[in-house]
Amino acid sequence: MVSVAQLGAAERNEYDGAYGPVGRRFLLVVYGLVVLGIVFVFSSSFPLAGRPTPGYGDGDAYFFLKSQLKHAGYGLLGMVVVSLLPLKLIERLSRPAFLIGLIAMAAAAIWGREIGGAHRWLWGVQPSEFAKVAYVATVALYLARGPMNRKNLYTVVLPIVVATGLMIGLLIKQSDQGMAMLVVLLALALAFLGGARLRYLVPIALSLLAAGISFALTKPYIVMRIKAWLQPEEYIHQAGYHIYSMLIAIARGGLFGSGLGMSPDKWKTLPFPHTDSIYCVIAGELGLWGALGVLFLVVLLAALAFRIGRSSNSRLGLYLAAGIGVALTLQAFVNIAVATAVIPPTGLTLPFVSAGGSSLVSSMVAAGLVLAVARHNGRRGGNGSR
């Protein structure tokens, strides 16, 4: 890690301003994804919302658009406030925030509203989305103490394992296997960033994969999803129908798309076109180049987050920015992989883009943590919290 104080004059100019040019580019990418989401939430949802369907707008074609705009405002406020927090304060708040998130997840698992077989909603909020952000901040806090090795077994490794186990356990209790899978992938990626050796990570990953498959085989609806993914033609009148619908929607877009608002698949065949399948609508209306453009923005977001982290003179700043970059990118890749039938359906949203207040606000708050690190970097010669 290179301290800002040790950089040359020309290099230090890169950090002039509140967030510096790199932070401003990161902010611009976030704004771009949010605006893209607002446009395509409306494009993908007005056929559903315009019908008199209870709970889906009741005939108001602008229902999801207004909700997305409202939560984008909340998210913008949260992002700005979090970006102004000093790293010392983020360090103190990370564990209490994670504990509150776990308590809220437990409450949702017991008293939460059931949607799609999962108990992950509590008073209209999905606590796991916010707990995920606090989880990354908590893991970053422990990684800031030192690498994941035998020497730091009790101060670094064990607390991270306990935090990860609690998070995954509550997600399974909520029947949210998609988010549980994401946390497993995120934990492995953060462990790798934290210095864990591949000779340990590979066996752990394989063991977790075996455990996940064994668990899936005990759940008939998960088995059905996997069978439909492997052989959609044999389940064309069941779960395979949705897989075919997503692929057809993407293929229909061709190179340049059918035009904004013109995808016919969102009217009847696409499953959850404004959330899970929104990438299919984007590909159908903007074509291959539009779909690749979204992928480019996601990769650019991760690259800028990593650059901000590597420029930090704080170990907490390094792992916080990099961890948030990994979390947002992994979730985006999982959503896109489902849309393109690379993996079975998981129910995860596309960060910043899919409809959903909890997803949008939590993603923007996560972006605020990266901007807080960028702002910390902009203070010339500022001492890191660790």
Average pLDDT over residues 236-245: 78
Amino acid identity of 263?
Answer: S
- For residue 334, the Cα-to-chain-centroid distance in whole angstroms is 9
Q: How far is CA 257 from CA 127, 268, 293, in A?
A: 36, 19, 13
DSSP annotation of 5: G
For the record, the structure tokens of 184 come out as 């497993």
- Sign of torsion, CA 131 133 138 139? positive
Q: Is the pLDDT of residue 304 over 90?
A: yes
List Cα–Cα distances, 261 to 39, 69, 264, in angstroms: 9, 18, 9
Answer for the pair 74, 361: CB distance below 8 angstroms, yes or no: yes
Lowest-pLDDT range of 202-211, 267-276, 376-385: 376-385
Do residues 149 and 94 make contact, with C-beta atoms less than 8 angstroms apart? no
pTM over 0.85: yes
Of 190, 187, 194, the closest CA to residue 146 belongs to 194
Q: Render pLDDT for 157-168 as a digit per residue (tens, 0 to 9).
A: 899 999 999 999
For residue 341, is pLDDT > 50? yes
Cβ proximity of 311 and 15 under 8 Å: yes
Which segments within 171-323 are labelled E, that is strand? none
User: How does pLDDT run across 108-148, given as a tens digit for each residue?
Assistant: 888 877 776 667 778 888 999 999 999 999 999 999 988 88
Report yes or no: 210 and 303 within 8 Å, Cβ to Cβ: no
CB of 245 closer than 8 Å to CB of 270:
yes
Residue scoring higher pLDDT (83 or 60): 83
Distance CA 377, CA 180 (A): 33
Taking the CA atoms of residue 120, residue 348, residue 31 and residue 97 in that order, the dihedral angle to the nearest 10 degrees is: 40
Predicted confidence at residue 13, as pLDDT, reads: 42
Q: Residue 161 and residue 204: Cα distance in Å, rounded?
A: 12
* CB contact at 8 A, 112 and 121: yes
Residue ranges of E strands in the chain: 113-115, 118-121
CA dihedral 70, 76, 82, 83 (to 10 degrees): 180
Residues in Cβ contact with 277 at an 8 Å cutoff, skipping those fewer than 6 apart: 44, 245, 246, 249, 270, 271, 339
Distance CA 38, CA 277 (A): 15
Q: In the numeric block, which tokens belong to residue 27?
A: 């902010």
Q: What is the pLDDT of residue 43?
A: 92
Nearest to 331, CA basis, from 361, 363, 291, 287? 363
Residues whose CB is less than 8 angstroms from the CB of residue 340 and which lie 6 or more positions away in sequence, other chains included: 246, 247, 250, 279
Give the least confident one: 88-102, 169-183, 367-381: 367-381
What residue segments make up the domains of the chain, in order of their start?
Answer: 4-377
- Provide CB contacts within 8 A for 241, sequence distance 6+: 232, 235, 269
Residue 335 to residue 106: CA distance in whole angstroms: 25
DSSP3 helix / strand / coil % (the chain, rounded to 5): 70, 0, 25
**Which range in 11-25, 102-116, 364-378 is most confidently predicted, on average pLDDT?**
364-378
Q: Indicate the pLDDT class of residue 17, thresholds 50, 70 and 90.
A: low
pLDDT at 223 over 70: yes
